[in-house]
Amino acid sequence: MKHPFIPSLLFSSFAFTTAVLLFGLPFSIKAGEQWTLDPDAVLVLGQPDFTSDDSGDGVTGLYVPNDIAIDPATGKIFIVESNRNRVVRFDSFSALENGAAAEAVLGQPDFETFISTTTATGMSFPSKAVVDASGNLWVVDGGNARVLRFNNASSLANSSPADGVLGQSDFVTGDTGLSDSEFNAPGGIAIDPSGNLFVSDTGNSRVLVFFDAINAADGAAASRVLGQENFTSPGIATDQDGMEGPRGLACDDAGNLYVVDTGNHRVLRFNSAAGKADGDDADGVLGQSDYSGDRAGALDNGFWGPRDAVVDPEGRLWVSEFSSRRVLGFSDAINLANGASADLLLAQPDFASLETGVTASRIGPAEGIGVDSSGRIYLADTAQRRVLVFEKDLHQPDTRIGEKASAPKGNNKYNSSGSGQKESVKTEGKEVKLTVKVENEGNISDSYWIKSKGTTSKFRIKVFMKTGGKKNITAAAKKGTYLSSEVASGGSLKLEHKIKAKGKFRKKRSTINAWIEASSNVDGEKDRVVGKIKNRP
């Protein structure tokens, strides 16, 4: 009998700031970027802006998006829409703007059709998806109790047929069951670096493992089962080897599997999951202090209706919560103790809040979550019919220098030595003026410590800020520093650097490298430009 699957909605101080030492995190942070408190999303799909939640269709609208998968090679974005029985494909992040149009659709003949079918080109309430390292898209087609495979998905045309199926012997059958080759309301999917596919068989409270999935025949039997002792055992459990309605799955680069055990309000970790035997115990648990707990809790160490998970390139585990309307992040997840607290947070101001809203930082009940190769987090804000993209806050001063503000040199980020950012000027003992432009290339507002210095004491050096008139930054520019006012993302400030030969040196040939350095007030990331002044009387 065909299972009438409909996605269930039953489960109804961003702690990581610049003070990294507070938590003693073991991983390194790339200079100039880090996750910080309550970041705004940087992109929205499905809506024209961050404050709209219109019911959308066509090439720009989304209607109850459930999950996001990103091709690691092309960056193409696939969004699963359960109630539209389709998967829509968007261009890569760098090519998109708010409200961008999709470029292709799978599961439907066009962007205006939403029928449910059991064919190689159709779908019925798909729920989750993943793209493997070779660009193959795997879709959990829940209403048809199957998983579809689309080879080279980033280049497929509208309504392209699937190339493979698991859970059914062919593309026109949609029966449910309890065996090594059947599913009952599958709800999550992940793939490890070796090509082993993991499918959460939600209705049977288990995870099925398919070794070397790309070469598996249609309807192939699973190789292993987790959450049950064997392929014919049913039942739910709250212990180290049991599950209750598991949904989202995530694999890290080492093949460790994280299972979002939704019914038990927890996430289970299975180390080297493909090497486990049937029914093996989990190796770790988050959301509960031990394996016997199943209490819901909207805190830093508890979940309330967790739905999906991903592991980013730096080993952080991110878990989306439907009922708490947030995403919890766990740094260095593989080494965390049972019941460890999250140290990262998206979509709420702190771990005790349950705010909602249609903004760049607040969401409604959320479902799936995705991650790209740059570590950006994609969140299906299901109830508000959109997908939000979050990324690390960037603190990047980009400093340029020139004789005129209209013709600066530079654009060489993080170059503390000033190499390649020199402006050479000749003078005959007269004062030289150079304009220095400091741009905020980061994605949040920042301020900068301005420092200037010369290599000798033969020149008089002063720095002035141009703000309508001229304001002296420091009378002793060679030694002092100045903290600028806040510069908005994409904004800039201009400085006027004045250099003049002193005393007898005005009449002698001499050269000085007079530089200005701008350092981020948030994380110290800096950039320097040099004015090479040649006195040639």
Alpha-carbon gap, residue 52 to 112, rounded angstroms: 21
Strand locations in 249-322, DSSP E?
Answer: 249-251, 257-261, 266-270, 284-286, 306-311, 317-321
Alpha-carbon gap, residue 76 to 161, rounded angstroms: 19
Among 238-242, 247-251, 499-503, 528-532, whose mean pLDDT is lowest?
Answer: 499-503
Alpha-carbon gap, residue 451 to 442, rounded angstroms: 20
Alpha-carbon gap, residue 523 to 515, rounded angstroms: 21
User: Average pLDDT in the 240-244 region?
Assistant: 98
pLDDT band at 414 (very low <50, low <70, confident <90, very high): low
Assign residue 180 a region: left if phi > 0, alpha if psi is -120 to 50, beta otherwise? Answer: alpha
Q: How many CB atoms lie within 10 A of CB 475?
A: 9
Which carries the bigger pLDDT value, residue 119 or residue 27? 119
132 DSSP assignment: -
Which carries the bigger pLDDT value, residue 416 or residue 271? 271
pLDDT tens readout for residues 273-322: 999 999 999 999 999 999 999 999 999 999 999 999 999 999 999 999 99
User: Average pLDDT in the 82-90 region?
Assistant: 97
* Burial (CB count <10 Å: 0-12, 13-18, 19+), residue 279: middle
**Structure token pair of residue 131:** 């793209």
Which carries the bigger pLDDT value, residue 521 or residue 243? 243
Q: Which residues contact 353 (CB under 8 A, 6 or more apart)?
A: none
pLDDT band at 28 (very low <50, low <70, confident <90, very high): very low
User: Average pLDDT in the 391-416 region?
Assistant: 81
Alpha-carbon gap, residue 76 to 86, rounded angstroms: 16
Identify the helix (H) or strand (E) that includes residue 528: strand 526-535
pLDDT surpasses 90 at 245? yes
157 DSSP assignment: P
Asked whether the beta carbons of 147 and 199 are under 8 A apart, the reply is yes
Which carries the bigger pLDDT value, residue 92 or residue 485? 92
Q: Using a pLDDT cut of 70, give the percent of the chain over it.
A: 89
| pLDDT (0 to 100) of residue 461 | 66
Most confident of 5-9, 12-16, 226-230: 226-230
pLDDT tens readout for residues 247-264: 999 999 999 999 999 999
Name the amino acid, one letter, at 482. Answer: Y
This prediction has a pTM of: 0.82
The arrangement of strands across the sheet holding 469-474 comes to: 397-402, 432-440, 492-501, 459-467, 469-474
* Burial (CB count <10 Å: 0-12, 13-18, 19+), residue 183: buried
Which carries the bigger pLDDT value, residue 278 or residue 29? 278
Asked whether the beta carbons of 493 and 517 are under 8 A apart, the reply is no
Q: How many CB atoms lie within 10 A of CB 373?
A: 12
